[in-house]
A and B are shown apart, each in its own frame.
Chain A
Amino acid sequence: MVGIVLVSHSGPLAAEVAALAAGICGAGSPPVPAGGTEDGGLGTSADLVAAAIERADEGDGVLLIPDLGGSVLTARLFEGPGIVVADVPFVEGAIAAAVAASAGGSLEAVLAAAEEARTFRKR
């Protein structure tokens, strides 16, 4: 299964979006949150992101979904073979990606599903 890492400035925000995505998908491994700094403050920690990628990686690739600013730059440092950064809205993209991943989609399919979330209209 494709792993998903949620990279946010806020630990609770990443954890809650991961919980929401897991609740909506039910099956499969939930997204792994990597939010905030190591001491629990606001910010992004490259070490926390590295550890989350390791946890999320089941061998089928990992999709990183950052929120904004430094989270995006930190996530992009980890881009490489099998690790892709999604340019998508944080909440909608995380849920779309989690649904596609739990259905057994490839990394490309999970990324495409997340990118579709950019066009979800609310009215």
Chain B
Amino acid sequence: MLDAGFFAAWVEEAARSVLAGKDRLTRLDTAIGDGDHGTNLDRGLTAAVQALADHRPATPGALLVLVGGTLIRRVGGASGPLYGTAFREAGKALGEEPEVSPGALAGALEAAVDGVRSLGSAAEGDKTMVDALAPAVRALAQAVREGRDVREALDAAAAAARGGAEATVPMQARKGRASYLGPRSVGHEDPGAASAALLVEALRTVAARW
């Protein structure tokens, strides 16, 4: 079972991972966006870690809602509302349970991706974070259904997220800032998909040592 401490550790690991990958995210975003994705997400996750240090909610649901609200207010750009919505929807789906099962985690992440799809009107293949998140959530749900433990299930999710992000390279962007570039968006990994993969990989990293 996963408690609030697990989710707080995830947010800390995500912040570390985005800080370490900040220059790469910025390079990807400079190629097809406005070059601020790494900086923006680093700022937001740093603020989220600080918010949890100031006051850590007792339940995973409340913790993720707090992180979502912080990301909405501090990330800016389009990724603030999108990641903020993802965390808030995941938190709402978890309700007030003090501990959640891998199945409940899979359900919460499905709610997160639905929230991102709905807010951004994006589908898979549009070259967005959905291209990393949707396969990750499918892989996680399937692994849980097959009865695999949370580490194995999150291994599968992280691999699917990374694969999904890499699959955005040949795509032409249909949503977001990169869509203004048309065919020139082809040949670059989508920065939102790349950061989404980092967040899912952070979840796997934390589960491996939990």
Residue positions of A touching B, CB distance < 8 A: 37, 43-47, 69-70, 73-74, 76-77
Q: Which residues in B have their C-beta under 8 angstroms from that of A77?
A: 72, 81, 84-85, 119
Q: Which residues in A have their C-beta under 8 angstroms from that of B77?
A: 43-44, 69-70
The answer to whether B177 touches A69, judged by C-beta atoms less than 8 angstroms apart, is yes
The answer to whether A44 touches B76, judged by C-beta atoms less than 8 angstroms apart, is yes
Q: Which residues in B have their C-beta under 8 angstroms from that of A43?
A: 76-77
Q: How far is the CA of A81 from the CA of B119 in the complex (A)?
A: 17
B58 contacts the other chain (CB 8 A): no
Write the nearest CB–CB distance from A74 to chain B, whole angstroms.
Answer: 5
Q: Could you say which of A44, A47, A73, A76 has the most chain B C-beta atoms within 10 Å of its C-beta?
A: A73
Q: How far is the CA of A46 from the CA of B30 in the complex (A)?
A: 24
Q: Which residues in A have their C-beta under 8 angstroms from that of B145?
A: none
The total number of A-B Cβ pairs within 8 Å is 38
Q: How far is the CA of A69 from the CA of B34 in the complex (A)?
A: 12
Q: How far is the CA of A42 from the CA of B76 in the complex (A)?
A: 10
Q: A44-B80, A46-B81, A70-B76 are in contact. List 5 more A-B contacts (CB 8 A).
A: A45-B76, A47-B73, A73-B120, A77-B85, A77-B119
B107 contacts the other chain (CB 8 A): no
Main secondary structure of the interface of A (DSSP, over half): helix
Q: Which residues in A have their C-beta under 8 angstroms from that of B85?
A: 77
Q: Could you say which of B76, B82, B177 has the most chain A C-beta atoms within 10 Å of its C-beta?
A: B76
Residue of A nearest to B79 (CB): A70
Write the nearest CB–CB distance from A78 to chain B, whole angstroms.
Answer: 10
Which residues of chain B in 65-105 are interfacial with respect to chain A, using CB atoms and an 8 Å cutoff? 72-73, 76-82, 84-85
Q: Which residues in A have their C-beta under 8 angstroms from that of B80?
A: 44, 46, 70, 74
The answer to whether B82 touches A73, judged by C-beta atoms less than 8 angstroms apart, is yes
Q: How far is the CA of A70 from the CA of B72 in the complex (A)?
A: 11
Write the nearest CB–CB distance from A50 to chain B, whole angstroms.
Answer: 9
B176 contacts the other chain (CB 8 A): yes
The answer to whether A46 touches B72, judged by C-beta atoms less than 8 angstroms apart, is yes
Q: How far is the CA of A47 from the CA of B81 in the complex (A)?
A: 12
Residue of B nearest to A76 (CB): B119
Q: Which residues in A have their C-beta under 8 angstroms from that of B76?
A: 37, 43-45, 70
The answer to whether B177 touches A74, judged by C-beta atoms less than 8 angstroms apart, is no
Q: Which residues in A have their C-beta under 8 angstroms from that of B119?
A: 73, 76-77
